Amino acid sequence: MNRILRRLRLRPVSYSSSRRMRYTALAIFLLITLTFFLPLRTKQDLIANGSSSPSKFRIQFAFQGESRSARRIRQHRQQQVRQAFLHAWKGYKKYGWLHDEVTPLSGRHRDPYVGWAATLVEGLDSLYIIGLQHEFDSALEALKSINFSRPNAERVPVFETTIRYLGGLLGAYDVSGGKYPLLLQKADQLGEFLLQAFNTPNGIPVPYYWWQRGNQGLEGEGGVLVAQIGSLSLEFTRLAQLTGKQKYLDGLWPSQVDTRGPSFDGSAFTLGAWADSLYEYLPKEHLLLNGKTDQYLQMYRAALDSAVKYHLFRPKTPGDQDILFPGSLEARGNGQAALRTEVQHLACFVGGMVGLGARLNDSPEELAIAIKLTEGCVWAYQNTASGIMPEVFYIDDCPSDGSCEWTDEGHVEPGHEYGFTRILDTSYQLRPEAIESVFIMYRLTGNPIWQEKGWNMFQAIMKHTMTPIGNARIRDVTDAEPKQDDSMESFWLAETLKYFYLLFSEPDLVSLDNFVL
């Protein structure tokens, strides 16, 4: 354990290390392409081992019950989350029904994701989990009117459409036990449409599909965010398992940033925006396939090893907190690569990812890293005037050798923002990543301290984001009374509040032994 943690005090990476990382990326790309050409029998095996087979993995802690007082507190908090969800859902239903988003201040609506009612579709599984059956039935009835073969926009963002719509439909189908065939029918309809985005010369999907332009709408691009084209596997694999259609397993793992062909020119490496879900999907794909292939677990292990070496760092904080953050890495061929101690709220999923991977690898050392990463994001919530983590900030890293003592010289301290060197983006966009990891840590460890941390986060978020219609993003978390912006993305209901609700639920509700979230 000490050996691993010593490696987390990062040093600048030499050019040879940068070159080695590119070779590793190329090797991963070649490994990824094997998925395109899996033997037919292998694909049939993967489809056959869908929901019918019990999971061979045990992820959750063996919970042993709770005291009467603990149950009372937990259930009260769960009801508070339920009421928050219902409040925002009713605001959407009144002002944004069958549109992608409601605007929580002005009471209008927006359609940034093709206009297929993203909040409705993505929130279906949350409705069912929370037990809002009447609202769930109403949403199902409205779903009948949505034609997923014909977008309400000229350009279809393939990644966003896959995770919000296809993921929402499949998630609701699974958590409801397959009782509503309409959900799978609509998912299959959407899957057939999205497969057209893969009809490119190299099989790598276009990030944006201009569906009315024929072949001209399938032209690849340079500078594509790797998450856009590398985070499609879970949804299409599950669709293949549920429908038996092998074609949904093809062409899912491009590696880098050029859809016209692999390009490994010097660039930045990150676990946050642009790449986040690519890495997140690796251990989850292994779980979804019930370990029938080690390909994704091998890729995850390679990614984790590089992350430990190059990305994760211990920050300088008041009180010398024993926490970790994922930074980013600039690795360019004309000079030395170096760690950038830029921390993103988006990257807070890493703690949960490493925790799940720790269970797959049966590694207490990795679980210790996961806990420290999640503690890092909790620390970032606790140390702003609003009690909410900024979207992007910088913080000093501890040196590889010597003292890690924090001083306030050169640090940002409006209110009581202690420890941050610079806050690049002060907003909070109702994001779920931090509470997702807190929820996973609770389910992995059984330690109720994570429920306390999550409750403090929930109270701060509700205090500053609630509006008469729903919940709004806020501009400046360093302000004790931050101003609100007129935006409520669909993931607020589909993810953020769902994870808060599950944190205070009995552990067999959506058990991580049975579901891949």
Residues belonging to the active site = 160, 276, 391, 433
Enumerate helices (H) and strands (E) in the chain, giving the number of each: 20, 12
Which amino acid is it at 459?
Answer: Q
CA–CA distance from 204 to each of 37, 103, 223, 228, 364 (Å)? Answer: 13, 35, 14, 11, 37
Q: Is 316 within 8 Å of 340 (Cβ atoms)?
A: no
- Cβ atoms within 10 Å of 75's Cβ, excluding its own: 13
Question: CB-based burial of residue 361 (10 Å sphere; 0-12 exposed, 13-18 middle, 19+ buried)?
Answer: middle
C-alpha 281, offset from chain centre = 9
Q: What is the DSSP letter of 409?
A: T
Strand (E) positions, 161-287? Answer: 208-210, 267-270
Q: Is 95 within 8 Å of 108 (Cβ atoms)?
A: yes
Q: In this structure, what token pair is assigned to residue 358?
A: 């720790």
Pairwise CA distance, residues 510 & 517, whole Å: 9
Query: 1 Cβ partners below 8 Å, 6+ apart?
Result: 364, 365, 368
Per-residue buried b or exposed e for 214-230, using 16+ beta carbons within 10 Å of the residue's own CB: eeebbebeeebbbbbbb
Pairwise CA distance, residues 146 & 186, whole Å: 9
Q: Is 211 within 8 Å of 196 (Cβ atoms)?
A: yes
Pairwise CA distance, residues 26 & 225, whole Å: 17
Q: Is 148 within 8 Å of 190 (Cβ atoms)?
A: yes
Q: What is the DSSP letter of 55?
A: P
Q: In this structure, what token pair is assigned to residue 359?
A: 């269970």
Residue 110: strand pairing partners: 101
Pairwise CA distance, residues 194 & 157, whole Å: 10
